[in-house]
Amino acid sequence: MFPNWAKNILFLLVYMISGLVLVIIIEGLLTGSDLQPLNSAIEEAIVRVRTPLLTTLLVWITKIGNPFVFSSVAVFISIMLIVKKNAYDAMLFLVSLIVAAISLTVLKNIFQISRPASDIYLAEGWSFPSGHATVATAFFFLLAYIFFGKIKTLRGRTILILGSIAGALIVCFSRLYLGAHWTLDVLAGVALGLLSVSFTILMFNVFLEENRSLRKRLNL
């Protein structure tokens, strides 16, 4: 739908902006800047809107939005793409999520930030960045990117984009609502998810998209 150079510029902008956001958050964590009070302010606001029904719903959502679940769905989608003779997009889907998962694991083990104390939900592991936010953002970003051109109607494309945005936001909000993460954890997870996917798409566009014969072999 768009020329390759236009896609590269778009994803370069996404890469640069998400990278900048992630750097600002990390710098704030390391220096104890004015970003820190944001965690407490959002936490206090969320506590005031908690209800038993909403808590039950968001516990269910956060379980469905587990990185393992999204990874399993991504593998299934990739297999379906390969069956449809679209190995290029299948590789893009899997490699992007692998990049996100590796980046997430590295950052968690570098910073080793403890989770906030929550009396409604028990979460394990390090808090920063949010794994749910990272993988959900990467998954829905990829879903919208890969299937946008395959849907022919404006209505279908609108549903895909809005549904992808809503899916990622709901998973991210569930982590904040349940007290499983600080606000900066979730924001960093969103930035990392966008960063990982935009980086991978750029690499694929530069090294595979231009090599038409290689891409053609992948989609045989």
Give the pLDDT of residue 13. 94
Give the pLDDT of residue 161. 94
Low-confidence ranges of the chain (pLDDT < 50): none
What's the predicted TM-score (pTM) here? 0.88
Q: Are 167 and 64 in contact (CB under 8 A)?
A: no
Phi, psi values for residue 117, rounded to 5°: -75, 125
Give me the long-range contacts of 114-118 (CB less than 8 A, separation at least 24).
115/180, 115/181, 115/182, 116/39, 116/43, 116/179, 116/180, 116/181, 116/182, 117/179, 118/178, 118/179, 118/180
Give the pLDDT of residue 126. 87
The structural domains of the chain, ordered by start, are: 4-218 (1.20.144)
Give the pLDDT of residue 46. 85
Q: Are 187 and 169 in contact (CB under 8 A)?
A: no
133 CB-near residues (< 8 Å, 6+ apart): 168, 171, 172, 175, 181, 185, 186, 187, 188, 189, 190, 193
Q: What is the Cα–Cα distance from 163 to 130, expressed in whole angstroms? A: 21
Phi, psi values for residue 122, rounded to 5°: -100, 120
Give the pLDDT of residue 217. 54
End-to-end CA distance of the chain, in Å? 21
Nearest residue to 93 (alpha-carbon basis) of 74, 117, 65 = 74
171 CB-near residues (< 8 Å, 6+ apart): 61, 62, 65, 132, 133, 136
∠ CA 109-103-179, rounded to 5°: 65
